[in-house]
Amino acid sequence: MSENINGLINTITVGTSIKGDIMANGDFRMDGILEGNITLTGKLVIGEQGHIVGNVVCQNANVLGTIDGNLSVKEFLTLYSTSKVKGDIVANKLAIEPGAYFTGTCHMLDELSD
């Protein structure tokens, strides 16, 4: 959809904790803790130490850390072997590595729907 402003990636680093909702244009990397919802127009990467307690809406996502909430991914979601997801997933395409933990329901989007 939209490109990152100046090609930069928003980042929350290890040791940082935020309470509140985040809305951003472009890509975002979460290595800290977020207690709130996150809505992006780009890609979300949750590092192994990253933890989100809230709902996620984004274009693409790579999850290596933990999400306690629902995920809505318009294109491609990858759950890596270190990921832990407790919530419902809506995605167009989904890849799950062996060892990933997921509990909830999953709904795959029709490629013709928005």
Sequence ranges of the domains in the chain: 19-97
β-bridge partners, 34: 18, 52
pLDDT, tens digit, 9 for 90 and up, residues 80-98: 999 999 999 999 999 999 9
Q: Is the pLDDT of residue 112 over 80?
A: no
Q: What's the mean pLDDT in 26-41? A: 96
The Cα–Cα gap between 64 and 86 comes to 13
- Tokens matching residue 97: 């590595």
Environment class of 89 (CB within 10 Å of its CB; exposed 0-12, middle 13-18, buried 19+): buried
Q: Report the mean per-residue pLDDT for the chain.
A: 91
**What is the rounded radius of gyration, in angstroms, for the C-alpha atoms of the chain?**
13
